[in-house]
Amino acid sequence: MTPEKLANNFNRCCDWEERYLYLIELGERLPSYPDAKMTAKYIVKGCQSKVWLDLSCDIESGTLIFLATSDAAIVKGLLALLRVAYHGKQPHEVRLFDIQAWFEALELKSHLTPGRTQGLDAIVKQVHEKLVTDEVLVS
């Protein structure tokens, strides 16, 4: 799914209750996260809920592998949104993608609690920091 298609699906929802349900559904579709990586090394700091994030780079294609999970259903849905935006993209594409403008198009932040917004920003920040510092390892 592309960010544009996801935005279209999201905006087809009648109201925010339906959008939250869609977010939860997206979160349920996330690939399973390995128990072995549910360690402090992969925790995202700045989130109220527990969030584990593992970024790596596919050796053949050079594209980003975005693997994440959370102990909260809505947050898992937000991680699914980020996966659509980042997974399978070249690092330079991730750097150029205006995630904040995409969030605005989804009217996302105006319907999240301040804590969820802060956590979402922390995840995005960590992705970009890892890309800038080349911490994304080739798998």
Known catalytic residue: 57?
Answer: no
Please give the structure tokens belonging to residue 129. Answer: 């920091």
For domain 3-133, which architecture applies? Alpha-Beta Complex (3.90)
User: Any residues with CB less than 8 A from the CB of 139 and at least 6 apart, and which?
Assistant: 56, 57, 58, 59, 65
Residues 59/138, Cβ–Cβ less than 8 Å: yes
Over residues 21-29, mean pLDDT: 96
Instruction: Reply yes or no on whether the pLDDT at 135 is more than 80.
Output: no
**Burial class (CB within 10 angstroms; exposed 0-12, middle 13-18, buried 19+) of 109:** middle
pLDDT band at 139 (very low <50, low <70, confident <90, very high): very low
- Alpha-helical regions (H) of the chain: 3-12, 16-28, 73-86, 91-96, 99-105, 114-132
Catalytic residue of the set 13, 14, 47, 57: 47
pLDDT tier, 130 (very low <50, low <70, confident <90, very high otherwise):
confident
pLDDT tens per residue across span 45-100: 998 899 999 999 898 998 999 999 999 999 999 999 999 999 999 988 998 999 99
Strands 51-57 and 64-70: antiparallel
Domain locations along the chain: 3-133
Q: What contacts 138, CB < 8 A, 6 or more positions away?
A: 56, 57, 58, 59
